């Protein structure tokens, strides 16, 4: 190695890195207080202490990040890129401390400075650049990639506003407020890269040249600037990168208009450029066809591909080797424009002939589908795409015609061809993004066994006939045990470590090691310790609820939790109807009978898309039912109901370890996987659920006797819906207990009943999500839960067994699957 200049000895000492003994840590924290924050050390609050501690931890991350990136550049391994419009990261400081192995030392250090680490961690605002499972999955996958020393980068958008903050109004309805998450001051976890910028074009016109080439010019140009977030691996120096793009105007403002006195006009283009990355779309499972969303998608894919292409070109390899160095995972169809964009780069800029370009493209991309719900399948109007991205529209039509080969394979089957077409006929025509993602990718996968099978047999059936089955695979989702065991449940992690006589790192890096707990299932002392941890987690949750909402919770009750986005298919409505049914049943009892009932606390949390009327009504019903139920002197000691506002990753970290039972009750065949089901089980909570998504594989692991299953199975769903359509039976006949619940709501038992009519009618009328079909078996399942909970020792055994069998659901396993079966990349780490 050559030294830059000057004295080598001086350089060597200076480059030694950071000391991480406690005195060095306190020194570094105080240094940041005085210099980076320019604050007085003697009047520091928790927020200031958080900021200084974060900057101090960040110094360590940056050094590891530099070494890792330098190593990748020198070694030039094949890399994988995870393109996701959502990364639901949550808080960073605690995770960084854990992964760096510095948690104890910082705890001691800040303690010596007069602070409590727990309080400092609470100061951090969640980075909530995602809606739900899809975005949190991306975050878990980054953690697992870095932890396994895999060369993987994430690419996304740096939204100025994350998912909205949820408030509950006086009438019980959801209100939305913006989430200006960056307004806390500088975000210590990101590095602005003023030098990493690309120009991205919109509109203009595309002019065909000879052959398949074209020139795209004119229109509007905006600039993408990179912000890098360091992703530390656990127990390794490897620190990967999450690169998020911010949109900026190409020219700050228009001097001509300014000089002419038209000040509004002068900043107009700057405002419209900045709008692109201003806000995360808060819709989950629905598409709206808004131009700004399409702009976001193109802006992000174009900047990411330009960056990937520049890095590839620095290797000096022939363009034909692109797929030997680059694998790109498409997280749902949101980044599908990357396919025509890479075609455009190859053909228009790199002079690659069409067929060769298509070959390269289809060896580069991999596509994950996350839902089979029809309303979530993205389609873009051809006229909109034509105006915003004229060159891409040409390329898509070219791919479409190439694809006409399908006709040759299935001569005369026009229906099949119509279904497989990239263009859906209609007024206007629409581009089907899932079809484009499928034909442009090497492999297509679903996110749990049942879901992948549904992908193969429903939305992608024709493509399976065409390409053969081997293109269509499964990678069951996973969760990172670092955040979802050690961070959120340190007591349990410690107990496991002591019991197995293993350092935490052993099972946090190989979750199958938890199976060792099975030996202790019958050990009464271990059972007691296991139960004590659940109890203290309940108290931690109760404390949170008391300090934030001022409500007192019975911590000796069974805790029953359903936390996820509000959606009809997830059936929070079934749950609330079940709670009301329980309430009515308790009211029917004599006081003597009530004394024998085990107390239960039911928690809901989750956001509804701002425009999703029925989902919002469900929240309103839950909140208002809670008001009545919690204040009823006859029942309030045995049944409590809470809707916790503003669900977030951080709230999940408090709720999940406290739960005895959690609900994953989607209509069979609708929940692709679910990932919180895995988190609850890992923390010793049991499931009540339908035979859907990853619930099925969880039951395979833990044994069906440890899961409370109910409801119809997937193959029955279509027939039942057909019957509802054409041979409807009134609810009073079909399901009297549910009819009674609906009538009580209607009659105003929980506030003005007329408000809820539209919600009740979804059940009384078509009942698309089959509540009337599943209600009886749901109530039975909850009955079995109550009975099982009576025998506390048996329950604790179930809880231990469940947690012990969660090895499969580590995101480390999922990422290994992707790395080996799809991306063909290998671990490599800096010295
Ligand atoms: C979600 N899909 C599914 O609904 C969940 O079941 C699954 O666990 C997560 O993805 C992660 O795979 C979506 O959010 C989307 F966008 F596809 F609708």
Which of 559, 540, 537, 801 minimizes the C-alpha distance to 682?
801
619 in Cβ contact with 643 (< 8 Å): yes
**Atom number in ligand 1 closest to CA 137:** 11
Evaluate whether 76-91+126-182+190-475 and 544-811 have a shared fold.
Answer: yes
675: annotated active-site residue: yes
The encoded tokens of residue 220 equal 């509007």
According to CATH, what is the number of the domain 544-811? Answer: 3.40.50.2000
CA–centroid distance, 175 to ligand 1, in Å, is 24
802: annotated active-site residue: no
Whether the pLDDT of residue 313 is over 70: the answer is yes
CA–centroid distance, 581 to ligand 1, in Å, is 30
Q: Is the CB of 671 under 6 A from ligand 1?
A: yes
679: annotated active-site residue: yes
**Atom number in ligand 1 closest to CA 132:** 14
3 state SS of 157? strand
570: annotated active-site residue: yes
Q: Is the CB of 137 under 6 A from ligand 1?
A: yes
Which of 746, 676, 622, 782 minimizes the C-alpha distance to 774?
782
Residue having the nearest C-alpha atom to atom 8 of ligand 1? 674
According to CATH, what is the number of the domain 76-91+126-182+190-475? Answer: 3.40.50.2000
Contacts 24+ apart (CB under 8 A), 179-185: 179/128, 181/125, 181/126, 181/127, 181/128, 184/125, 185/51
Cα–Cα dist 141/811, whole Å = 6
CA–centroid distance, 133 to ligand 1, in Å, is 5
Q: Compute φ and ψ for 611, nearest 5 degrees.
A: -100, 10
CB atoms within 10 A of CB 178: 12
Whether the pLDDT of residue 404 is over 70: the answer is no
Quote the pLDDT of residue 15.
Answer: 84
Quote the pLDDT of residue 205.
Answer: 97
Q: Is the CB of 673 under 6 A from ligand 1?
A: yes
**Atom number in ligand 1 closest to CA 373:** 18
Q: Which residue has the tokens 């991480």?
A: 20
Q: What is the pLDDT of residues 554-601, one digit of tens each?
A: 999 999 999 999 999 999 999 999 999 999 999 999 999 999 999 999
Largest CA distance in the chain: 90
The string over 373-409, giving b where at least 16 C-beta atoms fall within 10 Å of a residue's C-beta and e elsewhere, is beebbbbbbbebbbebbbbbbbbbbbbbeebeebeee
CA 49, 52, 55, 59 torsion-angle sign: negative
Strand partners, 165: 177
CA–centroid distance, 665 to ligand 1, in Å, is 15
Q: What Cα–Cα distance (Å) separates residue 36 from each residue in 33, 55, 222, 582, 711?
A: 6, 8, 32, 56, 58
110 in Cβ contact with 49 (< 8 Å): yes
Secondary structure of 110-136 as H, E, C letters: HHHCCCCHHHHHCCCCCEEECCCHHHH
CB atoms within 10 A of CB 177: 10
Quote the pLDDT of residue 1.
Answer: 58
Residue having the nearest C-alpha atom to atom 2 of ligand 1? 370
Quote the pLDDT of residue 263.
Answer: 77
Q: What is the pLDDT of residues 209-235, one digit of tens each?
A: 988 999 999 999 999 999 999 999 999
Cα–Cα dist 721/728, whole Å = 9
Phi-psi region of 207 (alpha: psi -120 to 50; beta: other; left: phi over 0): beta
DSSP one-letter string for 303-320: HHHHHHHHHHHHTT--GG
**Mean per-residue pLDDT, 227-256:** 93
**Mean per-residue pLDDT, 701-724:** 97
Q: Is the CB of 669 under 6 A from ligand 1?
A: no
Cα–Cα dist 269/252, whole Å = 8
Cα–Cα dist 188/181, whole Å = 12
**Atom number in ligand 1 closest to CA 693:** 6
CA–centroid distance, 770 to ligand 1, in Å, is 21
Whether the pLDDT of residue 698 is over 80: the answer is yes
**Atom number in ligand 1 closest to CA 136:** 11
Q: CB neighbours of 185 closer than 8 A, spacing ≥ 6?
A: 51
**Mean per-residue pLDDT, 163-177:** 98
Q: What is the pLDDT of residues 110-128, one digit of tens each?
A: 999 999 999 999 999 999 9
Whether the pLDDT of residue 410 is over 90: the answer is no
Name the least confident of 718-732, 746-760, 767-781: 718-732
CA–centroid distance, 285 to ligand 1, in Å, is 8
Q: What is the pLDDT of residues 602-653, one digit of tens each?
A: 999 999 999 999 999 999 999 999 999 999 999 999 999 999 999 999 999 9
**Atom number in ligand 1 closest to CA 672:** 6
Angle at 391 between CA 389 and CA 396, to 5 degrees: 90
Percentage, residues of the chain above pLDDT 90: 90
163 in Cβ contact with 131 (< 8 Å): yes
Q: What is the pLDDT of residues 32-85, one digit of tens each?
A: 999 999 999 888 999 999 999 999 999 999 999 999 999 999 999 999 999 999
Q: What are the helix (H) ranges across 315-349? A: 322-325, 338-344
CA–centroid distance, 129 to ligand 1, in Å, is 15
Q: Is the CB of 376 under 6 A from ligand 1?
A: yes
Quote the pLDDT of residue 346.
Answer: 98
Cα–Cα dist 670/688, whole Å = 16
Confidence grade of residue 167 (pLDDT, cut at 50, 70, 90): very high
Q: Is the CB of 476 under 6 A from ligand 1?
A: no
**Mean per-residue pLDDT, 142-161:** 98
Cα–Cα dist 399/342, whole Å = 13
- Per the document, the length of the chain is 831
Cα–Cα dist 642/632, whole Å = 14
**Mean per-residue pLDDT, 770-786:** 98
**Mean per-residue pLDDT, 97-110:** 98
Q: Is the CB of 285 under 6 A from ligand 1?
A: yes
Where are the domains positioned within the chain? 76-91+126-182+190-475, 544-811
Q: Is the CB of 133 under 6 A from ligand 1?
A: yes
Cα–Cα dist 545/329, whole Å = 40
Q: CB neighbours of 251 closer than 8 A, spacing ≥ 6?
A: 269, 270
635: annotated active-site residue: no
CB atoms within 10 A of CB 781: 21
Residue having the nearest C-alpha atom to atom 11 of ligand 1? 134
Whether the pLDDT of residue 825 is over 70: the answer is yes
Q: CB neighbours of 163 closer than 8 A, spacing ≥ 6?
A: 128, 129, 130, 131, 179, 280, 282, 607
CA–centroid distance, 168 to ligand 1, in Å, is 26
Quote the pLDDT of residue 407.
Answer: 73
Q: Is the CB of 156 under 6 A from ligand 1?
A: no
Angle at 299 between CA 295 and CA 304, to 5 degrees: 150
Percentage, residues of the chain above pLDDT 70: 99
CA 472, 480, 507, 22 torsion-angle sign: positive
212 in Cβ contact with 804 (< 8 Å): no
Confidence grade of residue 405 (pLDDT, cut at 50, 70, 90): confident
709 in Cβ contact with 483 (< 8 Å): no
Q: Compute φ and ψ for 225, nearest 5 degrees.
A: -115, 140
Distance of CA 576 to the CA centre of its chain: 25
């Amino acid at each position: 190695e050559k030294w830059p200049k000057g004295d080598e000895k001086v350089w060597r000492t200076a480059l030694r890195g950071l000391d991480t003994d406690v005195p060095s840590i306190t020194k570094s924290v105080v240094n940041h207080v005085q210099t980076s924050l320019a604050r007085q050390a003697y009047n520091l609050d928790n927020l200031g202490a958080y900021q200084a501690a974060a900057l101090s931890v960040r110094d360590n991350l940056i050094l590891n990040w530099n070494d890792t990136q330098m190593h990748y550049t020198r070694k030039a391994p094949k890399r994988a890129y995870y393109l996701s419009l959502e990364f639901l990261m949550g808080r960073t400081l605690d995770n960084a401390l854990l992964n760096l192995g510095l948690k104890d030392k910082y705890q001691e250090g800040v303690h010596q400075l007069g602070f409590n680490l727990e309080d400092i961690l609470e100061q951090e605002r969640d980075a909530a650049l995602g809606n739900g499972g899809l975005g949190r999955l991306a975050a878990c996958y980054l953690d697992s990639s870095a932890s396994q020393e895999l060369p993987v980068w994430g690419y996304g958008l740096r939204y100025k506003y994350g998912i909205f903050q949820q408030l509950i109004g006086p009438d019980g309805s959801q209100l939305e407020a913006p989430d200006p998450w960056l307004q806390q001051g500088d975000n210590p976890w990101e590095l602005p890269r003023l030098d990493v910028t690309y120009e991205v074009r919109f509109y203009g016109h595309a002019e065909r040249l000879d052959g398949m080439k074209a020139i795209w010019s004119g229109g509007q140009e905006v600039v993408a600037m990179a912000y890098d977030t360091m992703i530390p691996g656990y127990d390794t120096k490897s620190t990967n990168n999450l690169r998020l793009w911010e949109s900026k105007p190409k020219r700050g403002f228009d001097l001509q208009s300014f000089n002419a006195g038209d000040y509004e006009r002068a900043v107009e283009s700057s405002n419209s450029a900045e709008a692109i990355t201003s806000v995360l779309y808060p819709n989950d499972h629905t598409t709206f066809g808004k131009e700004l969303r399409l702009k976001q998608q193109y802006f992000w894919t174009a900047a990411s591909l330009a960056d990937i292409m520049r890095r590839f070109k620095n290797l000096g390899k022939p363009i034909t080797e692109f797929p030997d160095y680059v694998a790109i995972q498409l997280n749902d169809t949101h980044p599908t424009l990357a396919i025509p964009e890479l075609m455009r780069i190859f053909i228009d800029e790199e002079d690659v002939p069409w067929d060769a370009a298509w070959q390269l493209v289809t060896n580069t991309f991999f596509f994950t589908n996350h839902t089979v719900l029809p309303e979530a399948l993205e389609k873009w109007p051809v006229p909109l795409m034509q105006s915003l991205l004229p060159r891409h529209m040409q390329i898509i039509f070219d791919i479409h015609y190439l694809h006409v080969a399908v006709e040759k394979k299935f001569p005369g089957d026009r229906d099949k061809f119509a279904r497989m077409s990239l263009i859906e006929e209609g007024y206007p025509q629409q581009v089907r993004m899932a079809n484009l993602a499928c034909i442009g990718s090497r492999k297509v996968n679903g996110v749990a066994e049942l879901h992948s099978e549904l992908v193969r047999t429903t939305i992608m059936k024709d493509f399976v006939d065409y390409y053969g089955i081997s293109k269509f695979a499964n990678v069951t989702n996973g969760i990172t045990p670092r955040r979802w065991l050690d961070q959120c449940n340190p007591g349990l992690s410690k107990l496991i470590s002591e019991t197995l006589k293993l350092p935490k790192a052993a099972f946090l890096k190989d979750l199958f090691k938890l199976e060792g707990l099975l030996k202790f299932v019958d050990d009464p002392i271990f059972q007691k310790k296991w139960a004590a941890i659940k109890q203290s987690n309940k108290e931690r949750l109760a404390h949170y609820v008391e300090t934030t909402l001022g409500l007192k919770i019975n911590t000796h009750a069974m805790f029953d939790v359903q936390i996820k986005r509000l959606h009809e298919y997830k059936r929070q409505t079934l749950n609330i109807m079940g709670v009301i049914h329980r309430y009515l049943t308790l009211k029917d009892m004599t006081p003597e009978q009530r004394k024998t009932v085990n107390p239960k606390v039911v928690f809901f949390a989750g956001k509804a898309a701002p425009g999703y009327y029925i989902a919002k009504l469900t929240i309103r019903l839950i909140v208002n039912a809670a008001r009545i139920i919690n204040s009823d002197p006859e029942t309030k000691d045995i049944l409590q109901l809470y809707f916790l506002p503003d669900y977030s990753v951080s709230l999940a970290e408090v709720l999940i370890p406290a739960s005895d039972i959690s609900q994953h009750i989607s209509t069979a065949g609708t929940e692709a996987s679910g990932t919180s089901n895995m988190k609850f089980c890992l923390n010793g909570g049991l499931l009540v659920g339908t035979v859907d998504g990853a619930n099925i594989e969880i039951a395979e692991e833990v044994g069906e006797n440890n899961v409370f299953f109910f409801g119809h199975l997937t193959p029955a769903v279509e027939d039942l819906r057909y019957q509802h359509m054409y041979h409807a039976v009134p609810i009073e006949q079909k399901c009297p207990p549910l009819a009674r619940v609906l009538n009580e709501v209607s009659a105003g038992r929980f506030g003005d009943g007329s408000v809820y009519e539209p919600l009740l009618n979804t059940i009384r009328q078509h009942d698309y999500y089959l509540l009337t079909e599943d209600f009886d078996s749901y109530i039975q399942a909850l009955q079995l839960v109550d009975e099982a909970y009576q025998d506390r020792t048996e329950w604790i055994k179930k809880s231990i067994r469940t947690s012990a069998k969660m090895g499969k659901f580590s995101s480390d396993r999922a990422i290994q699957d992707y790395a080996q079966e799809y991306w063909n990349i290998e671990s490599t780490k800096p010295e």
